[in-house]
Amino acid sequence: MDERVDKSAARRAELAGATLKTLSELGYARTSLREIAQNSDFSHGVLHYYFRDKVDLITHCVREYKAVCVTRYDQVVATATTPAQLQAGFLDKLAQTLVEEPHMHRLWYDLRNQSMFEESFRADVAAIDASLERMVWRVVSRFAELLDTPPRVSSATMYALFDGLFQQALLRQLAGDPDAAADLQAAVTSVVAQVVPLEREPVAG
């Protein structure tokens, strides 16, 4: 019986993978079940054998997506012993994922946007957003710890800032701008210098 559910879970994961691939290539608006099936080894009918409907399938995908993303910087956080090391490692991975996986990232932004229109996605999307926020905060708070300076903005704000920078960089990367990654690194460096600064006078006002 365990074997049965394992098999079933594996197949679901396989189909979820094909779905993620399709979504990342075509975007939500043009992703159809038949197109997904063509990115897998099966026919379009099997999708309704493993998933209730299209929303169920995509929801499952979104959850799977989360697992991959959320640990991206954990290794860097775990091994870095100086602020400079941590910053360099983070910037490296940031640029790397921007250049190597832009399709995966646009898929995420597409789904998050879809959640603005379709309530069925909202809960899962919000959960992933929260996970990503924690991921970013692990990096930033560790950085602050190594610097012995508390961050000057909240976790939620910090995430929004990084997300905005990354999204602009992604737009440029997908438009073919060769400087997108380098400029992202520079911008992040500049912003971090402001919000997790070396010791300085407190801001008045």
Site residues, its own copies (CB under 8 A): 26-30, 106, 109-110, 112-118, 122, 125-126, 129, 152-154, 156-157, 159-165, 167-168, 170-171, 174-175, 183, 187, 190-191, 193-195, 197-198, 200-201, 203-205
Nearest CB to DNA, comparing residues 55 and 84 = 55
Assigned token pair, 46: 């099997």
Select 46 or 187, whichever has its Cβ closest to its own copies. Answer: 187
Which lies closer to DNA via its Cβ, residue 23 or residue 86? 23
Question: Which of its own copies, DNA, none does 34 bind, CB closer than 5 to 8 A by kind?
Answer: DNA
Stretch that binds DNA, among 41-49, 75-83, 105-113, 188-196 (CB under 7 A): 41-49
Q: Rounded distance, CA 61 to CA 17, Å?
A: 7
Number of other residues whose CB lies within 10 A of the CB of residue 37: 19
C-beta of residue 86 within 8 angstroms of C-beta of residue 143: yes
Round to whole Å and give the CA distance between 58 and 63.
9
User: Are residues 158 and 136 in contact, defined by beta-carbon separation less than 8 angstroms?
Assistant: yes
Residue entry with tokens 């290794």: 75
Shortest distance (Å) from residue 201 CB to its own copies: 4
Helix (H) or strand (E) holding 89: helix 83-100
SS (H, E, C) 11-61: HHHHHHHHHHHHHHHHCHHHCCHHHHHHCCCCCHHHHHHHCCCHHHHHHHH
CB of 71 to its own copies, least distance (A): 22
> Which residue lies nearer to its own copies by CB, 68 or 156?
156
Q: Note whether 13 binds DNA by CB under 7 A.
A: no
- Per-residue binder mask for DNA (CB under 7 A), 158-197, x = binder: ----------------------------------------
Binding residues (CB under 7 A) for DNA: these are: 4, 7-8, 11, 30-35, 41-50, 53-55
